[in-house]
Amino acid sequence: MTERLVLHEYSASGNCYKVRLTAALVGKPLDRREYDIMKGETQTPDFLANVNSNGRIPVLQVGDRFIPESNAAAYYVAEGSNLVPTDPFDHADMLRWMFWEQYNHEPNIATLRFWMRYVGPDGLNDLQRAQMPGKRQAGNAALRLMDEHLRQREWFVGKSISIADVCLFAYSHVAGDAEFNLASYPAVTAWLERIKGHPHYIAMTA
Amino acid sequence: MTERLVLHEYSASGNCYKVRLTAALVGKPLDRREYDIMKGETQTPDFLANVNSNGRIPVLQVGDRFIPESNAAAYYVAEGSNLVPTDPFDHADMLRWMFWEQYNHEPNIATLRFWMRYVGPDGLNDLQRAQMPGKRQAGNAALRLMDEHLRQREWFVGKSISIADVCLFAYSHVAGDAEFNLASYPAVTAWLERIKGHPHYIAMTA
């Protein structure tokens, strides 16, 4: 695969970091184009018509075609590498954690982080404020489920790192930004350190 | 693949139907085990310890192993069939729609359907009631995005049906249960009919 890959992104987003970290781990070059979501740069007519009609980043550009959705973009970048298991059960189990991340983890931990760190308390409306305790509880339930799973294993699927780990790492390692107490989840903390110790690891700010 | 597949499910759930419909389309036998989620049957110590620690259905049992998450289970059932494109871009594009379904479609359309049809207005708490207008708006945005996509094509990805279509069909075809007006989305309506016309199609109540 030699086509040029361009990541359309907002670099502070953990969803965008998933794709960058995947590319680093598999050694693929990735061009980057930054949009300021706080200024509505992914809601312009040009972006909606030509990049993603859903108005969200990240979007991975492959030649002149586009793949929205962070976990699908990470999959594309990793395809054919050892980050994607070939055994059918392990492969489905990897997707299971990636779908779980989008349903049970990201809407709670990432959304709280965004509300608390980027929008700020004064920018939230009443409905958002009313949802915070539920998202706090669901975010802790997600971290607890991860912690229980990781007590018996080093990686989410099989015996080596996969993109399930990468996709779950993105918002787990910054959960403290949303005042989740990672020290309460020692197996998660140890797993975060294992990923940071990967020889090709790059930080979110890189 | 000759291992026995057992679907742990609540048959009124569109998420469970995704797996049954996939199995029907590819001609794989699927044993079924029913749980009444309204009676808490997926929250028992036995279910949490032995089937899914997340307390949700569907879960696909493969021999003595388990795959939670509807879209991952559908993928496992379809793997190797023509419901899973082999071209890397089309494959990632299929996953893109499946992740989008879990993030932008299911939490709005399926949740409203569950609240309105299964919990009922008297059973909802204030926070759920307050979230309904936002979910209505986001559900219509999801249907509109699907409609725009389908104006130019027959299937979500490439030139034939894939599990992206199956996973999006599950809650789209019953969106009327949550008082979404499908007649406003003619390309979606035509696509629903195409799926119902598949020679191996089974209804949700089958």
Q: Establish how many alpha carbons lie within 13 A of residue A164's alpha carbon, considering only the half-sphere containing its beta carbon.
A: 27
d(CA B177, CA B43): 26
Q: Are A102 and B98 a contacting pair at CB < 8 A?
A: no
The interface residues of chain A toward chain B in range 90-129, judged by CB-CB distance below 8 A, are 91-93, 95-96, 98-100, 102-104, 106-107, 127
Q: Provide CB contacts within 8 A for B197, sequence distance 6+.
A: none
Residue B164 has pLDDT above 80, yes or no: yes
Of B191, B19, B199, B25, nearest to B98 by C-alpha is B19
Return the pLDDT at B105: 98
Residue B3 has pLDDT above 90, yes or no: no
Q: Is B87 helix (H, G, I), strand (E, B) or coil?
A: coil
A102 CB neighbours in chain B (<8 A) are: 99, 102-103
d(CA A172, CA A193): 12
From the CB of residue B182, how many other CB atoms can be counted at a distance below 10 Å?
16
| Per-residue pLDDT reduced to its tens digit, B29-55 | 999 999 999 899 999 999 999 999 999
Mean pLDDT of chain A: 96
Q: Is B10 helix (H, G, I), strand (E, B) or coil?
A: coil
Residue B1 has pLDDT above 60, yes or no: no
**CB contact at 8 A, A110 and A37:** no
Residue B206 has pLDDT above 90, yes or no: no
pLDDT tier for residue A44 given thresholds of 50, 70 and 90: very high
Residue A2 has pLDDT above 90, yes or no: no
Over range B151-164, report the average pLDDT. Answer: 97
Residue in chain B lying closest to A54 (CA): B145
**CB contact at 8 A, B60 and B51:** no
pLDDT tier for residue B123 given thresholds of 50, 70 and 90: very high
Using omega within 30 degrees of 0 as the cis cutoff, is the peptide bond preceding B58 cis? yes
Of B10, B111, B18, nearest to B72 by C-alpha is B18
Q: Is A40 helix (H, G, I), strand (E, B) or coil?
A: coil
| Per-residue pLDDT reduced to its tens digit, A116-126 | 999 998 999 99
Residue-wise burial string across A78-90, b where 16 or more C-beta atoms lie within 10 A, e elsewhere: bbeeebbbeeebb
| Nearest CA distance, A99 vs chain B (angstrom) | 7
* Percent of residues, chain B, with pLDDT higher than 90: 96
Residue in chain B lying closest to A129 (CA): B127
Among the residues of B106-155, which ranges form H helices? 111-113, 126-150
pTM higher than 0.90, yes or no? yes
| Nearest CA distance, A134 vs chain B (angstrom) | 10
- Judged by phi (left if over 0) then psi (alpha if -120 to 50, else beta), residue A27 lies in left
What ipTM does the predicted assembly reach? 0.96
Q: Establish how many alpha carbons lie within 13 A of residue B131's alpha carbon, considering only the half-sphere containing its beta carbon.
A: 20
Of B48, B59, B53, nearest to B18 by C-alpha is B59
Residue in chain A lying closest to B61 (CA): A89
Return the pLDDT at B2: 67
Residue in chain A lying closest to B59 (CA): A96
Q: Are B88 and A103 a contacting pair at CB < 8 A?
A: no
N-term to C-term CA, chain B: 25
Q: Which of B91, B103, B145 sits opposite A102 (nearest CB)?
A: B103
By the CB < 8 Å criterion, does B131 face chain A?
A: yes
pLDDT tier for residue A3 given thresholds of 50, 70 and 90: confident
From residue B114, give the alpha-carbon distance in Å to each of A15, B35, B146: 29, 16, 21
A99 CB neighbours in chain B (<8 A) are: 69-72, 98-99, 102
Of B100, B180, B25, B107, nearest to A73 by C-alpha is B100
Using omega within 30 degrees of 0 as the cis cutoff, is the peptide bond preceding B133 cis? no
DSSP state of B175: G
d(CA A134, CA A129): 10
d(CA B45, CA B47): 6
Residue B75 has pLDDT above 70, yes or no: yes
Q: Provide CB contacts within 8 A for B105, sequence distance 6+.
A: B139, B142, B168, B171, B172
From residue A105, give the alpha-carbon distance in Å to each of A15, A142, B96: 12, 6, 18
**CB contact at 8 A, A82 and A160:** yes
| Per-residue pLDDT reduced to its tens digit, B193-204 | 999 999 999 999
* Percent of residues, chain A, with pLDDT higher than 90: 96
Strands (E), A25-64: 31-34, 59-62
Of A83, A25, A19, nearest to A57 by C-alpha is A19
d(CA A93, CA B60): 11
| Per-residue pLDDT reduced to its tens digit, A146-196 | 999 999 999 999 999 999 999 999 999 999 999 999 999 999 999 999 999
d(CA A70, CA A18): 7
pLDDT tier for residue A206 given thresholds of 50, 70 and 90: confident
Over range A100-113, report the average pLDDT. Answer: 97
Matching residue, tokens 């409306």: A125
